Amino acid sequence: MKPLLIALTLLTTAVQAASIEQIDAAANRMQLTQLTDYAKGTEVSYPQAYAQYRLAVISQVAGNAEQFSAALQQARQTLEQLTAQQPDAENLALLSSVYGLMISESPLKNGTKYGKKAAEALAKAEQLAPDNPRVLLVKAISAFNTPAVFGGSKTAAAELASQAITQFSQPCTQICWGQEEAYTWRGLASMDAGNKEAAVADWQQALQLNPDYGWARFLLEQQQRYRQN
């Protein structure tokens, strides 16, 4: 086999072999190039879709609108294909979250279309696995981000995040992401309710779980600057 072909083969294998933990590590360090590599590959799989989802999220944080949109579309296509093949709770919950991000990209343009799709995917996920922590987490995120006039509730978001945190305490061996996020979203709901101490405690807990979790660290630093001013 020629050297270039060997290199390409090894690269493809490495991309396909990316684990959820590796994807999370790259996302926490905002390694866009690494996430882009993880998002590639010819095999349609949950890790590939998850890498595309995380690439979209980090691109949004980095202010790269073009990459954000492209990664979202890739994640949507991958997950729609996966759910057509195997409509399990993990695929559906992540697909619902992707639809939610697509609404945030253009609320007026995408709200009606993808709001319905997000709700339908999440409802199917809940039917299949009502106690799945990522299903509960996505429900919490949806409740937090949905306007009250459309059924959203920060109080419900906090309750759902608490349910997710309880379920995250169960043993997990395969798809295990989201525990730090559950604490972070519950903290945001607590902050919205005026309970700063509870919010800070949750963000600190998120960092105890994962010292590299940048979002919780950012929120804590932001709160510290606010107190100093």
Residue 29's domain is classified under what CATH number?
1.25.40
Domain with 218 in it: what CATH number? 1.25.40.10
* Total tally of structural domains belonging to the chain: 2
The residue out of 127, 146, 176 marking a domain boundary is: 127
218 in the same domain as 147:
yes
94 in the same domain as 25:
yes
Mean pLDDT of the chain: 91
Distance CA 182, CA 175 (A): 15
Residue-wise pLDDT tens digits, 73-124 = 999 999 999 999 988 999 999 999 999 999 998 888 888 889 999 999 999 9
109 in the same domain as 139:
no
Distance CA 137, CA 60 (A): 20
- Is 166 in contact with 125 (CB distance < 8 Å)? no
76 in the same domain as 20:
yes
pTM of the model as a whole = 0.89
The count of C-alpha atoms lying within 13 angstroms of the C-alpha of 198, restricted to the half-sphere facing its C-beta, is: 13
Q: At CA 166, angle to CA 165 and CA 169, rounded to 5?
A: 90
SS3 109: helix
Model confidence band, residue 10 (pLDDT cutoffs 50, 70, 90): very low
Residue 162 has pLDDT above 80, yes or no: yes
119 in the same domain as 153:
no
- In terms of residue numbers, what domain contains 39? 1-127
